[in-house]
Amino acid sequence: MKVLVGKKAPHFSEEAVVDGAEFVENFSLNQYLGKKNVVFFFYPLDFTFVCPTELIAFQEKLSEFEKRGTAVVACSIDSKYSHWSWLNTEKNHGGIKGVKYPIVADCSKMIAMNYGVLAGEYSFEDGQISFEGNPVAYRGLFLIDKQGVVRHQIINDLPLGRSVDEALRMVDALNFHEEFGEVCPANWNAGKEGLKTTAIDIAAYLTNN
């Protein structure tokens, strides 16, 4: 697995479905540079079991991300046509109708490979290409700042759904640090005190908490 924290998020330009119905060519995260943080997350496949719970959960909290100046973008190895069909299927039939944030189509699997979340790898031997593993993305999530730098990443195995509240907490932590210059201790939540980065201040915080 790649550790991308502290590095520029890998660039891509691919097809996506936006606002639940619109096909967009050459979709890129570059459109958010200098404007918004991005929560960019991968999921294994459309029309599965855990995946719709995650995508719907992110949609339910989308306004909270937007209030924090953060865009949400999803990605899987499915085609834009599969995304479109899933987005236009009612929830009681396994669909995610009502999801409005962009969903990227990574048919080549190159985005998943570059972000280090592909659940397997290709090999080339005797003139033949083979794949070992599962040719889908793990549940990877990346918090990317306005400069395009990855500030947080988490990767779950396929059966393990993520916490949207934890993603929001990390957005709050990043925004708090950038606004006040303080760092966020364990179990920090918005509204709590941060730590000034001097030994005296840290020692005082630990004594009082």
Q: What is the 3-state secondary structure (H, E, C) of the chain?
A: CCCCCCCECCCCCEEEEECCCEEEEEECHHHHCCCCEEEEEECCCCCCCHHHHHHHHHHHCHHHHHHCCEEEEEEECCCHHHHHHHHCCCHHHCCCCCCCCCEEECCCCHHHHHCCCEEEEEEEECCEEEEEEEEEECEEEEEECCCCEEEEEEEECCCCCCCHHHHHHHHHHHHHHHHHCCECCCCCCCCCCCECCCHHHHHHHHHHC
Q: How many CA atoms lie within 13 A of 189 on its CB side?
A: 3
Tokens linked to 137: 């993305």
User: Is position 75 annotated as part of the catalytic site?
Assistant: no
Of 51, 75, 107, 184, the catalytic one is 51
Contacts of 158 (CB under 8 A, 6+ apart): 44, 50, 119, 134, 136, 138, 139
Give the amino acid at 53.
T
Looking at the annotation, which residues are catalytic? 51
